[in-house]
């Protein structure tokens, strides 16, 4: 299943892009010496603005954790363990640059990130990917829990864009600070004495990245050795010449940055790990390979229609399809017999559901003289596992969701 795995890479890259944008003052003012310190818990920024310079990726860490927690909670509701790109555990671990370099060719100290337990057999892997991506892969848009993470990422990036004292301005102010100007000159002379010609740490790192991009596997292994040697020299010179300069710049600039951007920074801080609230589906409904349940609370008439991969469909107009789909619950029909907790349910008995993409359409048939919009929830189970749980509102017309079985 190549498309889902490719999509996973895209989700990672999107998150990584956010981190890159949010990495305050970048590697140009990175001063974590003599070791590469592990990432700081982002909440420290609000009380200790100088932490911004001790860990320039602090805001990026906040973004990563927010996205990962949102996806993780969504996946947990579907019965899967998910761990994305944010290594939330071990934030205070340190990395020895002489062993791990910058983490470019050598990789992170903690090893490869795992994606959670998708199971050993093909069905379990497919179910994991279905829960993560929904069924919109070929259309080029992430669905499922990835869409939840994408929405969290968009919200975080909007907060960053709204900062009145921008990250770019902070970087410019830092590099123009007299202490940093003098510190970088001294750092460059220190590196020259060790055999490296560079105006800043950024020059060293960008050069390594560019070379790695076109390296063969054998060249990459050699580059990893060079990276370790370079990083060791770099951080020795930073310790000698940039630490004090960065502390001086941080004392002047970091508090101003935090105060100017406090509302946005507070909104960026990761909330407590959210618990996915699983909707309770009545147990007296028909079930099987596929079960689609529509639940709402208002005294209106909503209609459920499910179209299977063959094009056959089930609704109140066609309660049994040619492929075995059945509608066994139709609530508030034509505003008659209004119930407190209306439910509609379509299912395919075990062994009968066609494989492929399904479309779920919810239509507001009648408001029954009530004013909307009206909230509803769709819960889809495939093989007994929740693969889609989505809450929406409807004021008129129809809403369509998709999933794969």
Q: DSSP string of 316-360?
A: TTBSB-TTS-EEEE--SGGG-S--SS-EEEEEE-TTTPPSSEEEE
- Helix, strand or coil, per DSSP, at residue 319: coil
Rounded to whole angstroms, how far apart are CA atoms 201 and 227? 12
How do the domains of the chain map onto residue ranges? 2-268, 290-404
Distance between the two ends of the chain, CA-based, in angstroms?
Answer: 13
pLDDT band at 134 (very low <50, low <70, confident <90, very high): low
Rounded to whole angstroms, how far apart are CA atoms 41 and 66? 12
Helix or strand (DSSP H, E) at 339: none
Burial (CB count <10 Å: 0-12, 13-18, 19+), residue 312: middle
Which CATH superfamily includes the segment(s) 290-404?
sav2460 like domains (2.60.60.30)
| Res 60: pLDDT | 78
The DSSP bridge pattern shows strands 398-404 and 357-366 to be: antiparallel
Cβ atoms 154, 229 nearer than 8 A:
no
Higher pLDDT, 155 or 186: 186
Q: How far is CA 262 from CA 157, 159, 172, 323, in A?
A: 15, 11, 20, 57
Residue 63, both tokens = 């973004």
pLDDT band at 148 (very low <50, low <70, confident <90, very high): confident
| Res 61: pLDDT | 78
At residue 399, φ and ψ (nearest 5 deg) are: -125, 130
Q: Which pTM was predicted?
A: 0.56
The DSSP bridge pattern shows strands 385-394 and 398-404 to be: unpaired
User: Does position 304 have pLDDT exceeding 90, yes or no?
Assistant: yes
Q: How much of the chain, in percent, has pLDDT values that exceed 70? A: 74
> Mean pLDDT throughout 25-32?
38
Helix or strand (DSSP H, E) at 381: strand 374-382
For residues 166-179, b (16+ Cβ closer than 10 Å) or e, as one string? ebeebbebbbebeb
For the stretch 189-219, pLDDT in tens is 999 999 999 988 888 888 888 888 888 888 8
Match 């029954």 to its residue by tokens.
Answer: 368
């Amino acid at each position: 299943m190549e498309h889902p795995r490719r999509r996973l890479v895209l989700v990672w890259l999107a998150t990584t892009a956010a981190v890159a944008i949010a990495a305050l003052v970048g590697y140009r003012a990175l001063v974590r010496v003599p070791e590469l310190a592990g990432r700081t818990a982002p909440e420290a920024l609000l009380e200790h603005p100088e932490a911004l310079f001790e860990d320039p990726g602090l805001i990026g860490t906040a973004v990563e954790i927010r996205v990962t927690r949102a996806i993780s909670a969504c996946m947990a509701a579907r019965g899967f363990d998910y761990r994305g790109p944010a290594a939330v555990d071990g934030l205070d671990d340190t990395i020895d640059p002489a062993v791990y370099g910058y983490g470019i060719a050598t990789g992170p100290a903690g090893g490869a990130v795992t994606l959670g337990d998708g199971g050993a057999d093909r069905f379990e892997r497919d179910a994991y990917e279905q829960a993560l991506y929904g069924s919109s892969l070929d259309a080029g848009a992430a669905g499922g829990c990835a869409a939840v993470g994408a929405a969290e990422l968009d919200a975080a990036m909007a907060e960053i864009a709204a900062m009145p004292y921008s990250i770019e301005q902070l970087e410019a102010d830092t590099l123009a600070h007299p202490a940093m100007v003098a510190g970088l000159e001294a750092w460059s002379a220190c590196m020259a004495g060790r055999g490296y010609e560079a105006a800043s740490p950024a020059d060293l790192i960008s050069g390594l990245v560019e070379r790695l991009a076109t390296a063969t596997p054998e060249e990459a292994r050699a580059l990893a050795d060079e990276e370790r040697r370079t990083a060791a020299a770099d951080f020795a010179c930073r310790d000698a010449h940039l630490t004090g300069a960065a502390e001086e710049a941080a004392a002047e600039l970091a508090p101003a940055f935090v105060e100017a951007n406090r509302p946005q920074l507070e909104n960026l801080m990761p909330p407590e790990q959210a618990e996915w609230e699983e909707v309770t589906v009545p147990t007296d409904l028909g079930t099987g390979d596929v079960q689609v349940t529509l639940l709402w609370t208002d005294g209106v008439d909503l209609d459920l229609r499910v179209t299977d991969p063959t094009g056959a469909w089930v609704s109140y107009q066609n309660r049994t399809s040619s492929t075995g789909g059945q509608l066994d619950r139709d609530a508030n029909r034509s505003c008659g017999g209004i119930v407190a907790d209306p439910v509609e349910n379509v299912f395919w008995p075990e062994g009968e559901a066609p494989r492929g993409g399904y479309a779920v359409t919810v239509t507001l048939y009648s408001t029954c003289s009530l004013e909307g919009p009206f909230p509803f929830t769709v819960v889809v189970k495939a093989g007994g596992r929740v693969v889609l749980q989505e809450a929406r509102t409807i004021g008129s017309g129809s809403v369509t969701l998709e999933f794969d079985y």
